[in-house]
Amino acid sequence: MSFTTSNHKNSKRVQVISLKESDLDKLIFPFKKHTITSLEYKPFSRFSLAKSLDEVFENKLSNKLVEILNDRETGTVIIEPEINNKKFDKDFLVKLSTGLAYLIGNPNFDLMTGKYYARFHVKHQDSSDSYLRKAYTNLDLHTDGTYVKEKTDWLIMTKMEEQGVENGESVILHLDDWEHLDELSNNPVGQQDFIWGSPKSKNIEYKVQHPVFRKDKDGKSTISYIDQFPEPKNMEQGLFLQRLSDCLEESKNKIEFPLHVGSTILSNNYFWLHGRKPFKENTNLSRELLRIRGNFFN
Ligand SMILES: [Fe+2]
């Protein structure tokens, strides 16, 4: 096997796949075949890129990713490529993330950027309309795709670059580790339809309706939740969301860790929540992230 899989030091629910420089070297040539523009304009080129990625890893990477993401016991994998050399630049990271995405499924069109992926910065100053880019406030635990019609089975978050960064650690929580899962998933309000909207920057004209908690085919709870976008229509729904938010943030079972530049988190979006701790104030602060969300093939 040309990649290694291990348990994350903070939790065995999180798998870590390390990619060696000597293997990444083998990607340089097939990745050169595609420019960022051709990947953006020609969907089939992303499949061909992903196939090259899988081939370098003996066609075992795709199966491993799909296996981990669908395993309720784990469901999150961190890809750690050894990218100390400058030849592994930001274009390389976009291509690697694209390849990872197309080994597991089809990305949703990201209306924030009008592409199959989004790149964005978190900086000292921010005038945006959501918590995504607010450096000095907690980005509370949430799932993605709460306000879109497309299924959001999984998400990819890659750290492209950062400078002037202290703190701002990644925070994730497995639903089955959450102390309040039984109480809140069994509360009838949690199974009611809520209305979900989104602020202007997301470029979504419609609203959707769905409950916070559902059961999957095995009867296990799943969650679709973010604090900013549900529009409670009465006191009962408002108080339920406040309790849910408080119970998530006070959980003792959150997993917190710094994500290295170049590394990618891939999570099942039904039973993992993600967030970020506030950064230490710094006028030079800059972090660039890439995200892709999508659905599984099949
Ligand atoms: Fe998110």
pLDDT value at residue 1: 60
Q: 35 C-alpha vs ligand 1 centroid, how far in Å?
A: 27
Q: 131 C-alpha vs ligand 1 centroid, how far in Å?
A: 10
Pair 161, 288: CB distance under 8 Å: yes
Q: 127 C-alpha vs ligand 1 centroid, how far in Å?
A: 18
Rounded CA-CA distance 172/248 in Å is: 11
Report DSSP state, residue 110.
Answer: B
Pair 228, 200: CB distance under 8 Å: no
| Token pair in block for residue 272 | 């993992």
How confident is residue 127, by pLDDT bands cut at 50, 70 and 90?
A: confident
pLDDT value at residue 130: 82
Q: 140 C-alpha vs ligand 1 centroid, how far in Å?
A: 9
Rounded CA-CA distance 210/125 in Å is: 34
**Residue 257, CA atoms < 13 Å, CB-side half-sphere:** 17
Q: 288 C-alpha vs ligand 1 centroid, how far in Å?
A: 14
Mean pLDDT, to the nearest integer, of 42-66?
Answer: 97
Q: 66 C-alpha vs ligand 1 centroid, how far in Å?
A: 20
How confident is residue 156, by pLDDT bands cut at 50, 70 and 90?
A: very high
Percent of the residues in the chain that have a pLDDT greater than 90, as a whole number: 92
Q: 143 C-alpha vs ligand 1 centroid, how far in Å?
A: 6
* Residue 88: how many other CB atoms lie within 10 Å: 20
How confident is residue 131, by pLDDT bands cut at 50, 70 and 90?
A: confident
Q: 276 C-alpha vs ligand 1 centroid, how far in Å?
A: 9
Q: 211 C-alpha vs ligand 1 centroid, how far in Å?
A: 18
How confident is residue 283, by pLDDT bands cut at 50, 70 and 90?
A: very high
Rounded CA-CA distance 232/52 in Å is: 47
**Residue 200, CA atoms < 13 Å, CB-side half-sphere:** 3
Q: Is residue 294 within a helix (H) or strand (E), and if so which, with residue range?
A: strand 286-296
Q: 153 C-alpha vs ligand 1 centroid, how far in Å?
A: 13
Q: 166 C-alpha vs ligand 1 centroid, how far in Å?
A: 20
| Token pair in block for residue 31 | 């990745």
- Token look-up 């109480």 returns 183
Q: 275 C-alpha vs ligand 1 centroid, how far in Å?
A: 7
Mean pLDDT, to the nearest integer, of 132-145?
Answer: 94
Q: 53 C-alpha vs ligand 1 centroid, how far in Å?
A: 26
pLDDT at residue 190 greater than cutoff 80 = yes
pTM of the model: 0.96
Q: 224 C-alpha vs ligand 1 centroid, how far in Å?
A: 11
Q: 272 C-alpha vs ligand 1 centroid, how far in Å?
A: 11
Q: 183 C-alpha vs ligand 1 centroid, how far in Å?
A: 24
pLDDT greater at residue 212 or residue 131: 212
Q: 274 C-alpha vs ligand 1 centroid, how far in Å?
A: 6
**Closest C-alpha among 92, 88, 118 to residue 35:** 92
**Closest C-alpha among 179, 172, 205 to residue 276:** 172
The one-letter amino acid at 282: N
Q: 144 C-alpha vs ligand 1 centroid, how far in Å?
A: 5
